[in-house]
């Protein structure tokens, strides 16, 4: 009975699969159609179409249409590609997810780093709130997205400054000043979200998120040192990054509970820490050169002694 | 595995199947393409008819049988489904093949508790409220305890809907709930209406799964979510054997003892074996146009939750 059933099952599913395959082959041409229609409509005058309904089905206007009709930029770019301002007429899932997360950031001060903020963000893009189900319910992706956005902004800022210096329009800053300004600029990006940032820090420390958050942190520190002109290839590379990571983390924590106007206390703390780090490196240099001198002295003494021995032996 | 226990029944079924195949080839062209009903081969029209009869006869004892067959674990599965959905107040849910309303009631509870927490948080924020504001907030609570969320329960079977409505009355669910008679392959709803579409232990009984998936895609809003909770394929060989033993030996007996209906529960366990495994269902969902399709195995594959988004 099992063999017969198995045979029947296989035959049955082959039939269904055949149908499914045919249907799937129909789909790509349909999608290309929509994309082509989008290209044409994008070049035509803007017209507000009902959102994302396939061309075959009648576009019946139903009462209680939830799409906001006022949209000064024209039809909203949708995944199915009907009407769009962007040069691409469709976007990948990743890009859509990034757009949702970016839109969600403005709801963070009110809802915190949660799935609710993501749901509100999705709603502003015209999607259903259920789209927040694409992300984890504790808001980790939102925080990681925000952190990577801030890091990108910081890199761009440092790049621009470097260009100005290269063009000769600005002076090259001394290292400690450079580090101070870079860390301050980066921390200032947290100010709009400062009330909910402790929550974000705790979520970033969850074991699941540690690899990503650590990677973002290290790339940011690496960027700062790169633009500070660090070209070391020896052990200094590690010590420099470790020191700056320590400075950044401690300053961030101080900022969390700083209530002074415009976070003055935080910047003063930062200044002191950077100065300490510089002193430490000077001390390290001194120790190193002293150490080298001592070693050379010992080597010289050893050579002298061995020469004396050989000369005595010869004699 | 079943043949060992009940040889005479299996023989009868096979003979019946052969006879039916003979007659079927004569009138098969009229009644529609061939498909399966459990381990039998029937036409599509026959299958729909038979499934309707199955659920008509089990409707009254449906919940009791669910509890006894799965030892109450089906409640946990349904809870996990609603938690995965994580609905916010204002969500419109369409629960297809949701006859007795299990998912709908859980949805209402969840949304109510989320809304309560939201209101509490709002009150905490505004520390200095005037008496008028406080009384207004209480009124608001009573009026919008669900925050505009709604669930529509759709089922093809009148008996199941009747049982569901009675349950709702008993348990006191009244607002935000509506009951619609409809076929999953041809939903009586407009396009782009619902935030979430769920089908819990129902898609197995749909004759044309691809049509049901297309309908799901149609009625969902952009950004909407498709969730499917269904019995699926167990990959662990030891567990699979135990599961087969339990399914074919114990469940039909329970069906006979508790509900007086051996054949319906025989159909149930056979239909589980005929249902496509996780990856195949995932491919079918992707074919219907959903994105980010994924599945989560519960109890190492006895049940799986498939999820997709209309983007």
Phi, psi of A127 (to 5 degrees): -95, 165
Q: Which domains does chain B have, with CATH numbers?
A: 48-310 (3.40.50.150)
Question: Do the Cβ atoms of A130 and B85 come within 8 Å?
Answer: yes
The pairing of beta strand B194-200 with beta strand B220-231 = parallel
Q: Which residues in chain B are closer than 8 Å to A50, comparing Cβ atoms?
A: 192
Q: What is the pLDDT of residue A24?
A: 44
| Cα dihedral sign, A94-A98-A103-A109 | positive
**Cα–Cα distance between A12 and B34 in angstroms, integer?**
8
Residue closest to B192 by CA, chosen among A200, A53, A79, A223: A53
Q: The tokens 């420390």 sit on which residue? A: A205
Residue closest to A212 by CA, chosen among A157, A146, A158: A146
A4/B contact by beta carbon, under 8 A: yes
Residue closest to B137 by CA, chosen among B129, B149, B128: B129
Mean pLDDT of the B161-174 span:
92
Q: What is the pLDDT of residue B128?
A: 67
Task: Estimate the crossing angle of helix A93-104 against helix A140-167, to 10 degrees.
Answer: 90
Residue B176 near residue B146, CB atoms below 8 Å:
yes
Q: What is the pLDDT of residue A11?
A: 57
User: What tokens appear for B131 in the block?
Assistant: 């008496």
In this predicted model, what pLDDT tens digit does every residue of B29-77 receive, in sequence order? 445 788 888 888 888 888 888 889 888 888 888 888 888 888 999 999 9
ipTM metric: 0.78
Predicted confidence band of residue B258 (pLDDT cuts 50, 70, 90) = confident
Buried b (16+ CB within 10 A) or exposed e, A105-139: bebbeebbbbbbbbbbbbbebbbbbbbbbbbeebb
Phi, psi of B251 (to 5 degrees): -65, -45
Q: The tokens 């019995």 sit on which residue? A: B231
Mean pLDDT of the B226-253 span:
92
Question: Do the Cβ atoms of B85 and A9 come within 8 Å?
Answer: no
Question: Do the Cβ atoms of A93 and B196 come within 8 Å?
Answer: no
Domain definitions of chain A by residue range: 92-137, 143-298
**Closest Cβ–Cβ partner in A1, A24, A128 for B195:** A128
Q: Is the pLDDT of residue B296 over 50?
A: yes
Interface test with A, best of B92, B213, B223 (most A CBs within 10 A): B223
Digit-by-digit pLDDT tens for chain A (315 residues) are: 565 656 666 655 555 555 544 444 444 444 443 434 444 444 444 444 443 344 444 434 444 343 434 334 434 444 444 444 444 446 788 899 999 999 999 999 988 899 999 999 999 999 999 999 999 888 999 999 999 999 999 999 999 999 999 898 888 888 889 999 999 999 999 999 999 999 999 999 999 999 999 999 999 999 999 998 877 777 788 888 899 999 999 999 999 989 999 999 999 999 999 998 888 878 877 888 888 888 888 888 888 888 888 888 886
**Cα–Cα distance between B51 and B44 in angstroms, integer?**
11
| Cα dihedral sign, A186-A187-A192-A197 | positive
Residue A93 near residue A143, CB atoms below 8 Å:
no
Q: What is the pLDDT of residue B133?
A: 74
**Cα–Cα distance between A59 and A266 in angstroms, integer?**
58
**Cα–Cα distance between B188 and B194 in angstroms, integer?**
13
Question: Do the Cβ atoms of B91 and A130 come within 8 Å?
Answer: yes
Q: What is the pLDDT of residue B283?
A: 95
A33/B contact by beta carbon, under 8 A: no
Residue B225 near residue A131, CB atoms below 8 Å:
yes
Question: Do the Cβ atoms of B91 and A129 come within 8 Å?
Answer: yes
Q: Is the pLDDT of residue B144 over 80?
A: no
Q: What is the pLDDT of residue B3?
A: 42
**Cα–Cα distance between B188 and B63 in angstroms, integer?**
27
Q: What is the pLDDT of residue A140?
A: 94
Question: Do the Cβ atoms of A62 and B311 come within 8 Å?
Answer: no
Q: What is the DSSP string of B70-134?
A: HTTHHHHHHHHHHHHH-PPTT-EEEEET-TT-HHHHHHHHHHHHHHHHHHHHHHHH--S--HHHH
Q: What is the pLDDT of residue A65?
A: 40
Q: What is the pLDDT of residue B69?
A: 86
Q: What is the DSSP string of A216-268?
A: HHHHHHHHHHHHTT----STHHHHHHHHHHHHHHHHHHHHHT--SGGGHHHHH
Q: Give whole-number Cα distances, A184 to A70, A248, A272, B154, B295, in Å.
A: 40, 9, 13, 57, 44
Task: Estimate the crossing angle of helix B209-219 against helix A2-43, to 10 degrees.
Answer: 30
Q: What is the pLDDT of residue A17?
A: 54
**Closest Cβ–Cβ partner in B87, B88, B222 for A78:** B222
Instruction: Please tell me whether residue B189 adopts helix, strand or coil conformation.
Output: coil
Q: What is the pLDDT of residue A37?
A: 41
**Closest Cβ–Cβ partner in B3, B34, B284 for A1:** B3
Q: DSSP label at B156?
A: S
Q: Which residues in chain B are closer than 8 Å to A27, comparing Cβ atoms?
A: 287, 289
Class of A143-298 in CATH:
mainly alpha
A50 sits in the region (left: phi over 0; alpha: psi -120 to 50; else beta) called: beta
Residue A300 near residue A292, CB atoms below 8 Å:
no
Residue of A nearest to B11 (CA): A1
Q: Determine the straight-line distance between the first and last CA of chain A, rounded to whole angstroms.
A: 107
């Amino acid at each position: 009975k099992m063999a017969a059933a198995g045979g029947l099952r296989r035959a049955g599913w082959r039939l269904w699969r055949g149908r499914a395959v045919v249907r799937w082959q129909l789909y790509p041409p349909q999608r290309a159609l929509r994309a082509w229609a989008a290209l044409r409509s994008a070049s035509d005058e803007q017209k507000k179409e009902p959102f994302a309904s396939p061309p075959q089905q009648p576009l019946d206007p139903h009462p209680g249409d939830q799409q906001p009709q006022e949209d000064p930029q024209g039809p909203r770019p949708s995944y199915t590609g009907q009407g769009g301002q962007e040069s691409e007429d469709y976007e990948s899932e990743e890009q859509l997810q990034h757009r949702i997360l970016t839109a969600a950031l403005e709801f963070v001060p009110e809802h915190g780093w949660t799935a609710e903020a993501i749901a509100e963000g999705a709603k502003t893009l015209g999607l259903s709130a259920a789209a927040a189900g694409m992300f984890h319910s504790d808001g980790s992706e939102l925080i990681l997205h925000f952190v990577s956005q801030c890091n990108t902004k910081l890199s761009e800022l440092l790049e621009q400054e470097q260009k100005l210096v290269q063009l000769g329009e600005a002076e090259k800053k001394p290292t400690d000043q450079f580090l101070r300004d870079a860390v301050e600029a980066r921390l200032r990006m947290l100010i709009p979200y400062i009330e909910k940032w402790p929550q974000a820090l705790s979520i970033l420390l969850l074991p699941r998120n540690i690899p990503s958050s650590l990677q973002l942190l290290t790339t940011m520190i690496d960027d700062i040192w790169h633009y500070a002109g660090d070209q070391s290839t020896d052990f200094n590379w590690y010590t420099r990054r470790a020191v700056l990571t320590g400075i950044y983390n401690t300053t961030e924590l101080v900022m969390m509970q700083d209530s002074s106007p415009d976070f003055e206390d935080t910047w003063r703390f930062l200044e002191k820490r950077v100065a300490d780090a510089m002193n430490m490196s000077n001390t390290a240099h001194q120790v190193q050169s002293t150490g080298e001198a001592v070693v050379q002295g010992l080597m010289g003494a050893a050579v002298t002694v061995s020469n004396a021995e050989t000369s005595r032996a010869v004699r | 595995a079943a043949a060992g226990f009940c040889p005479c029944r299996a023989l009868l079924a096979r003979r019946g199947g052969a006879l039916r195949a003979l007659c079927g080839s004569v009138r098969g062209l009229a009644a529609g393409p061939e498909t399966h009903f459990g381990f039998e081969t029937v036409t599509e029209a026959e299958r729909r008819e038979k499934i309707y009869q199955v659920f008509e006869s089990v409707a009254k004892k449906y919940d009791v049988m669910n509890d006894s067959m799965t030892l109450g674990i089906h409640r946990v599965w349904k809870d996990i489904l609603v938690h995965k959905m994580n609905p916010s107040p204002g969500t419109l849910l369409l629960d297809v093949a949701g006859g007795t309303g299990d998912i709908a009631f859980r949805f209402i509870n969840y949304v109510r508790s989320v809304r309560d927490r939201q209101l509490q948080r709002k009150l905490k924020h505004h520390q200095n409220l005037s008496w008028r504001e406080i009384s207004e907030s209480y009124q608001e609570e009573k009026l919008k305890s669900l925050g505009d969320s709604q669930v529509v329960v759709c089922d093809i079977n009148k008996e199941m809907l009747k049982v569901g409505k009675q349950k709702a009355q008993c348990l006191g669910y009244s607002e935000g709930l509506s009951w619609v008679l409809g076929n999953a392959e041809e939903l009586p709803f407009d396009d782009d209406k619902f935030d979430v579409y769920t089908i819990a232990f129902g898609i197995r009984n749909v004759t044309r799964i691809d049509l049901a998936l297309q309908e799901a895609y149609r009625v969902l809003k952009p950004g909407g979510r498709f969730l499917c909770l269904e019995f699926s394929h167990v990959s662990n060989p030891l567990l699979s054997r135990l599961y087969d033993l339990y399914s074919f030996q114990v469940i039909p007996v329970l069906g006979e003892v508790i509900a007086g209906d051996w054949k319906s529960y025989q159909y149930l366990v056979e239909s589980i074996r005929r249902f496509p495994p996780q990856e195949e269902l995932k491919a079918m969902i992707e074919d219907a146009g959903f994105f980010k399709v994924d599945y989560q195995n519960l109890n190492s594959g006895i049940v799986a939750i498939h999820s997709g988004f209309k983007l």
